[in-house]
Amino acid sequence: MYFQSFYLTCLSHASYLIASDGEAAVIDPQRDVAIYIDEARRHGFAIRHIIETHLHADFVSGHRELAGITGATIHIGRRADATFPHHPVDEGDEIQFGDCVLRFLETPGHTPEGVSVLISDLAKSPHLYAVLTGDTLFVGDVGRPDLSAEYTPQELAGMLFDSLHGKLLTLPDDVEVYPAHGAGSLCGRNMGPERSSTIGKERKLNYALQPRSRDEFIDLLTHELPERPGYFAQDVELNRAGAESLGLLPPLRALQPAKVRAMQESGVMVLDTRPADQFAAGHVPGSIQIGLSGQYASWAAILLGLQQEIILVAEDNECEEESRMRLSRVGIERVTGYLQGGIAAWIGAGLSLQKFSEIRAEGLLAKIIEGGDSTQILDVRRPSEWEAGHVAAAIFGTLSHLDSQLDKLDRERPVAVYCKSGYRSTIAASLLQRAGFSNVINMVGGFDAWQSAGLPVKIPS
């Protein structure tokens, strides 16, 4: 049996290809499916099956396009009410090809239709080899229980307890665990950095699997749930219907600076994906920066939504195409074009730039001491990060809701912004400038740099 995992770092998403006797199955495919087709072609496999462990909320699946190219059957839990051609999966259903046997377990909890897939490799042993757990069980965590319009988080958490303790934790300790996400995913809150585990390790080390009653488990999972991004529900519906082929998206248009400015004035968003230092040194006025180096597509979906029309500014043509592809993976498709020639062309057209300052942690401390209360300090991290410690003089305004926090700040005074490492603060600095703040300062290295420098930290009592 052939087993290959694919990990998409920007979305913390894992997908899998399993093959035997020339036949293959792809599990939880990402939207751009060429990687599976290329892998299968390299080894002489024919993709005959596509399995979705559930309706994903944080990305758009390529199941429909992959099925169209290969003729494969899509398998998904019956309760998904999928509207694309598929085989509805029930408890105990099996798929066998060559020495590989895939058996389905219904494991609702993260979503009502969730399934896990038990894998046996008969060439090695009649016993179970591994389980693909989707978003039911992660390394170090379990799926969040608040993604259903039909069930309350408490009801889903109860289902999840039953799925874990009644099914997955009854498996032998040596069964390998392969989840659909890793650390950084928005579908959990405490995932470990490892890409796989075993039932035994998770039984011992996973905080959510420690001995407790069903009611205690429900309370644990539903207490202080992380915010659910607004685009999640839209991605679920895109996946329920099956997204269109990426090949149907129109090609990116090369736009001259004057055209970009005119379109921007009509409401089109200019999204700059260059690194933070390049953006700070000069950018299209009113543009928003979200760097390709981090969770670019997720932040774009959270802050801009799926329907915003976008023009890209990138380092080069390769980055323009990468920017567009990554947006499509979360369902952002209204990418009209890109600034031809980049910022150099904008300057060459005689158009003005916006800039903002960057400062290191020690410089910000000096500014606080020397400037009294003239410089405002904005912390745009998550609430849990703020509670663990922050700069004493800071104002809290998490990035995902920054627009609702602006009334806390004086637009006429300098604003220094920080996050954990500098990625989110650059996004926030661009949003502040767009909102009319004229003196914005980004703290390089974020709170990590502040702590590394041994500077004072306030921890709420």
Mean pLDDT (whole number) for 191-215: 95
Query: Sorting pLDDT into bands at 50, 70 and 90, what band is 293?
Result: confident
Per-residue confidence (pLDDT) for residue 373, from 0 to 100: 62
User: Contact at 8 Å (CB) between 114 and 53?
Assistant: yes
Q: Which domains does the chain have, with CATH numbers?
A: 2-241 (3.60.15.10), 252-348 (3.40.250.10), 357-452 (3.40.250.10)
Mean pLDDT (whole number) for 325-345: 97
pTM passes above 0.85: yes
DSSP-derived letter for residue 276 is H
User: Contact at 8 Å (CB) between 150 and 135?
Assistant: no
What are the tokens at 33? 């499916």
Ramachandran area for residue 64 (φ above 0: left; ψ -120 to 50: alpha; else beta): alpha
Taking alpha carbons only, the member of 349, 352, 340, 342 closest to residue 256 is: 340
Q: Helices 296-304 and 317-328 meet at what angle, rounded to 10?
A: 60
Q: For residue range 230-244, what is the model confidence (pLDDT) as tens digits?
A: 999 999 999 999 999
DSSP string over 14-49? EEEEEEETTEEEEES--S-THHHHHHHHHHT-EEEE
Q: Which residues, 6 or more positions from 384, have their beta carbon under 8 angstroms from its beta carbon?
A: none
Active site residue 187: no
The CA distance from 165 to 109, in Å, is 12
Question: Do strands 310-313 and 269-272 pair parallel, antiparallel, or not at all (unpaired)?
Answer: parallel
Q: Helices marked H in 333-403 — which ranges?
A: 342-348, 361-371, 383-388
Q: For residue range 7-40, what is the model confidence (pLDDT) as tens digits?
A: 999 999 999 999 999 999 999 999 999 999 999 9
The CA distance from 68 to 66, in Å, is 5
Q: For residue range 138-172, what is the model confidence (pLDDT) as tens digits?
A: 999 999 999 998 999 999 999 999 999 999 999 99
What are the tokens at 285? 């006025």
